[in-house]
Amino acid sequence: MTVSTGLQIDSVSFSYAVDPVLESIHLAIPQGQFVCLVGASGSGKSTLLRLIAGLQPPTTGRLAWNGQAIAGPGLERGIVFQDYSLFPWMSVVDNIEIAIAKAKPEQPRHERREEAHDCLRHVGLESAIGKYPFELSGGMRQRAAIARALALGSPLLLLDEPFGALDPINRARLQDVLLEIWETSVPRKTIVFVTHDVDEALYLGNRLIILGATPGRVIADLQLEFSRTQDRRDLFESPSFQIKREKVAEILAEDTLRLLLPA
Amino acid sequence: MKSDALTLSTNIFPKENTLDSAPPSARPPTPPSHLRRVMDAALIWVLILALWFIAAAYFPLGSNPLLPAPGITASALWESLPELWVGTLSSFTILIPGFALATVLGVVSGLLVGTSPELQRSFFPFARVAAPVPPTVYIPYAIAILPTFKLSAIFVVFIGAFWPIFHNAAAGAQALEQRYRDNARILGLSGFEYRRRVVFPAALPHIFSGMAVGLGFSFILLTVAELFGANAGLGRFVQYYADFAGYPKMVAGIIYTGLVTFLAMTLLDTVKHRALFWMK
């Protein structure tokens, strides 16, 4: 509560009816961190992301960004969904432009178009500018979704299993696109990335938060310090990476086992 | 038991069992050839034409047959084409304004009501009572109170087409998927911009269904209204020759009206496919 910059989550609980989905979540995420949220299904990791995005209010507790309470969606918190961040009736560039128009209403139209092109170039999508979402592959659609989040200029990026539906090659490519965006952003963007893929979480994040299931709560909070300068395959095979992966798998397995055993 | 074992063994080899009555899923159905499709589509037409020829040949009803032979009807249609064309233009000066007004007002009010719970609370109880009133009952009154026949016919076409378009637009707005709502909220879209750029395109499939129903009603109401007091038009043409027992021309008029309706529906369908190209 003393930290006023970054994301503050204070004793947040959420329930749809009686059963709690999330129970007393306390987290402080300083600006510039790349946080990965992992957990079994039912751990409420997507729900937590929706609460941060302001799409739903918490049942109890308080969320704040840079000291400002989160009361609804805001342009400072861009979000990328798994497969539906774009409006299918708008071309890719129109999808980006509508975001820019909201983020910078005073900007003249021709500059807006130029900026949309820049955003698309940033994610390697200049070839698909005039296309519609149905004409794009899953990987290209997610590139466009990231470009839209960039267009909003949000200092906090929320991603809900954004690469979950992609094939391994596209997944790896987009992970690197995202890392490059994060590493080159000034000031450094804060990222909260939900995934169920432990390797992905370990590769991307510099902090890993594990949520336990039913009800969702934080069961582990790990600092990650892998050097991404080395080759991805070397990193995955390095002993330090393997040890971390074992540890995460163990924590997740323990939590799943707890559910199967009678109390 | 033995019989049980037997059924079991046949179930293991279903091919032997069901070779004659293979379900469609067992053998991948080969798509019918182009010729076959054309023949299937033509079947009912050929049957009706044959029946028509036979009926006209075996029930001769003097010089003014109630059942004009196909050849007589065809030449009556050819002869009447200029008159039918004038009638079409006259009918369209009623149909187009009525249907266009119903589309604009139906879509705008439907989207407004569909996105506002407050408006729904006042509009839906009214619509539930007002919409089912058969629009044909308004015709005599409309003719009585409006200054010209044309205006009253436009009004009746409008009423008939309005309700299905309104209902479908409102339903489309209400059925807006959560993901589009989420995206609109993330971008901070609201008010007119939200309705124009998100709700309207998302509701377009519903709106087009409403327009198709509304266009069908428009043709019904147009021709019925013309029976009352028009001096030109498609419905008027049929009524006029019926009064003089000019059955060949009357039947020609019916066929022609059917054709025009079909063409209008096809046009709407083409527009729909163009507008909904992004749905894949």
How do residues A84-109 score in pLDDT, each as one tens digit?
789 999 999 999 999 999 888 888 88
Q: Check the CA dihedral B234-B240-B243-B244 and report its sign.
A: negative
> Do A88 and B187 lie within an 8 Å CB cutoff?
no
Query: Chain B within 8 Å of A71 (Cβ-Cβ)?
Result: no
What is the per-residue pLDDT across A6-35, written as a single tens digit (0 to 9) for each?
A: 889 888 889 888 788 888 888 899 998 999
* Contacts of range B255-259, beta carbons closer than 8 Å, 24 or more positions apart: B255/B73, B255/B77, B256/B77, B256/B80, B256/B84, B257/B219, B257/B223
Judge whether A10 and A63 are in contact, CB under 8 Å: yes
What gap in Å lies between CA A150 and CA A202, rounded to an integer? 23
Whether the model clears a pTM of 0.95, i.e. scores above it, the answer is no
Cα separation, B9 vs B1, in Å, equals: 13
Instruction: Please indicate if any CB of chain B lies within 8 Å of the CB of A156.
Output: no
Interface touch B182/A78, C-beta < 8 Å: no
Helix (H) or strand (E) holding A157: strand A156-160
- Tell me the per-residue pLDDT of A31-49, one tens digit each, with 9 for 90 and over: 989 999 998 877 888 899 9
Q: How far is residue A222's CA from residue A217's CA, in Å, rounded to a whole number?
A: 15
Question: Among B186, B202, B280, whose Cβ lies nearest the Cβ of A79?
Answer: B186
Q: Which of A87, A136, A154 to mutate to test the interface with B (most CBs of B within 10 A)?
A: A87
Residues 202 through 261 of chain B touching chain A, CB cutoff 8 Å: 202, 204
Interchain contact, B201 vs A72, CB within 8 Å: no
Helices (H), chain A: 45-53, 92-103, 109-122, 138-151, 168-184, 198-204, 232-237, 239-260
Kindly give the confidence (pLDDT) of every residue in chain B, 280 residues in length, as a single tens digit, with 9 standing for 90 and above. 334 443 443 344 444 444 444 455 556 677 888 889 999 989 999 999 999 888 888 876 655 567 788 888 999 999 999 999 999 999 999 999 999 999 999 999 999 999 999 999 999 999 999 999 999 899 889 989 999 999 999 999 999 999 999 999 999 999 999 999 999 999 999 899 999 999 999 999 999 999 999 999 999 999 999 988 778 899 999 989 988 888 889 999 999 999 999 999 999 999 999 999 998 7
- Give whole-number Cα distances, B12 to B4, B18, B20, B22, B227, in Å: 13, 12, 17, 15, 68
Cα distance between residue B224 and residue B137, in whole Å: 11
Report which residue type is found at A262.
P
Distance CA B159, CA B7 (A): 63
Phi, psi at A223, each rounded to 5°: -90, 140
Amino acid at A212: G
Q: What is A17-59 written as a DSSP string?
A: SSSEEEEEEEEEE-TT-EEEEEE-TTS-HHHHHHHHHTSS--S
